[in-house]
Amino acid sequence: MPMCWLISEGGSHKPIRLPHQQTVVLGRGPETTIKDKKCSRHQVELKAECNKGYVKVKQLGLNPTSVDSVVVGKDNEIKMKAGQQLLIVNQLYPYTIQFKEDGGTKRPPELSSEDRESRRQDSSLKAAKHSESGHEEATKSSESFGHWSQGLKTSMQDPKMQIYKDDKVVVIKDKYPKARYHWLVLPWQTISSLKALSEEHCDLVKHMQQVADQMVQQCPDANLLRFRMGYHAIPSMSQVHLHVISQDFDSPCLKNKKHWNSFTTDYFMESQDVIQMLETNGRVDVKEGTSELLKLPLRCHICRKDIPTIPALKEHLKSHFSS
């Protein structure tokens, strides 16, 4: 039977063996060398199914653990296969898994400094291919070791992606739009997420809102479509960004329940609400259990009718929007 190893992409420590069907709990500590206090000492539970070629990943800590572009969610469990990337907490500390035929208990060789540098360069190149929306799947091939979560930073620097910019912000088209019109407003200043915002960012966030308003005003269908502007409570991409999205949701990129619920439940935090939080409390508070909203049943955002499937939902939406 193959043996499973958890491998740090940063090469910060030796590979960790994941015995077949035995629970391994990892987090902040000497085994991973993670010192980040946002990472719980018991952040993630791993159980390898060596004969089936995957590892069960369960999030134990409060802050998000991700597999590729999917946030696991506290006490939730998903399967991870070779070629996918595990990010222990807050889209940081990347790991991959490797299955090796059992020829003893020898560890896979550690990466040399040259190999680690080569992998980091590959990461930067692959990241450019991954802009964002909600939980769009990152590539899952065995050659994909890129920091997909950094792809948004790469896209915002690409002149071909930019449709507006000033000295404070840039606007790009979402690479995987979930509606006819779907833009992202990003600050040039590096701000990882909503939780990194403070009172000093009030003026910047207000400016992002103003630019979003301008984008809607300039839209040729502004009189026909309704727009919303807001942030995902737990974004899958690094660098805070404001979604400007038309409410038709007419797009082939809208494929699953998580996509839908990330824009039609309280998982989507209105821009004005974020501004008010910063003005009132000096921070943005994300309610505990927010990730559970992604699991809610499909429901039309206009008439609130429950719909069984995404294809049925898209067909239903035609009754509300003309083509």
Helices (H), the chain: 113-127, 151-156, 202-218, 257-264, 271-281, 310-317
Residues in the chain: 323
User: Does the annotation count 241 as an active-site position?
Assistant: yes
How are strands ordered across the β-sheet holding 77-81? 23-26, 44-49, 54-59, 77-81
In sequence order, the 6+-apart residues with CB closer than 8 A to the CB of 42 are 25, 27, 60, 61
Q: Residue 163 — left, alpha, or beta (φ > 0 → left; ψ -120 to 50 → alpha)? A: alpha
Question: How many Å is the Cα radius of gyration of the chain?
Answer: 21
- Which two structure tokens, joined as six digits, stand for 312? 């049925």
Q: Quote the strand ranges of 220-294, DSSP E.
A: 227-232, 242-246, 268-270
Dist. CA 98–CA 2, nearest whole Å: 9
Amino acid at 67: V
**Active-site residue (options: 130, 241, 243, 259):** 241
- Cα distances from 5 to residues 80, 102, 238, 239, in angstroms, run 13, 11, 27, 31
Residues taking part in catalysis: 241
